[in-house]
């Protein structure tokens, strides 16, 4: 996978949830509880990216206890839910971390994500993302949302920063 140059400088990478970390389908129980399905490959990619020193954030328009639990499970402490102004939420995070938009990336899929995607130093989407989004981001994953797209982007960032081999070393047997 080619590594876009902007990914080389990332210090913070944020992700949307519905349509990026999940396939975008919203499940509700008869009691009105929301359920979401997350991909374990994506989760490990996020852990590898964090382990390589890139801060992680989730910025999403919906509120969901499932997302809160997933963020806790992954050790993501920068969680913003119920956000209407995603660019403003990112600005708040960046201010708190002493970073600029050039230091940040975002992965989103819909037109509501465009103000943030266009502001960040690196942007990514998924094949099923809105056409206007796909046309404006630095990278569109080959994998579908909720099916490895986040992992693909995490590995792309690690490769751009020259950290992918080290992140994978613990799992790969020595070559013969």
Tell how strand 104-107 and strand 78-80 pair up.
unpaired
Homologous superfamily assigned to 5-169: HAD superfamily/HAD-like (3.40.50.1000)
Tens digit of pLDDT for each residue in 117-171? 999 999 999 999 999 999 999 999 999 999 999 999 999 999 999 999 999 998 8
Tens digit of pLDDT for each residue in 11-62? 999 999 999 999 999 999 999 888 999 999 999 999 999 999 999 999 999 9
How much is the pTM?
0.93
Q: How confident is the model at residue 3, as a pLDDT?
A: 52
Domain boundaries, given as residue ranges, for the chain: 5-169
Q: Which residues contact 93 (CB under 8 A, 6 or more apart)?
A: 12, 14, 57, 59, 78, 80, 104
Tens digit of pLDDT for each residue in 78-127? 999 999 999 999 999 999 999 999 999 999 999 999 999 999 999 999 99
């Amino acid at each position: 996978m080619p590594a876009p140059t902007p990914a080389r400088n990332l210090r913070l990478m944020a992700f949307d949830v519905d349509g990026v970390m999940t396939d975008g389908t919203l499940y509700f129980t008869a009691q009105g509880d929301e359920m979401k399905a997350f991909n374990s490959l994506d989760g490990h990619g996020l852990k590898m990216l964090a382990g390589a020193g890139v801060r992680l954030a989730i910025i999403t328009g919906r509120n969901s206890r499932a997302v809160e639990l997933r963020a806790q499970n992954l050790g993501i402490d920068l969680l913003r839910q119920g956000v209407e102004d995603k660019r403003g939420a990112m600005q708040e995070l960046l201010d708190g971390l002493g970073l600029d938009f050039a230091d940040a990336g975002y992965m989103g899929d819909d037109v509501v994500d465009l103000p943030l995607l266009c502001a960040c130093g690196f942007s990514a989407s998924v094949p099923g993302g809105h056409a206007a989004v796909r046309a404006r981001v630095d990278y569109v994953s080959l994998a579908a949302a909720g099916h490895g797209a986040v992992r693909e982007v995490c590995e792309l960032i690690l490769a751009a920063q020259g950290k992918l081999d080290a992140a994978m070393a613990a799992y790969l047997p020595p070559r013969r």
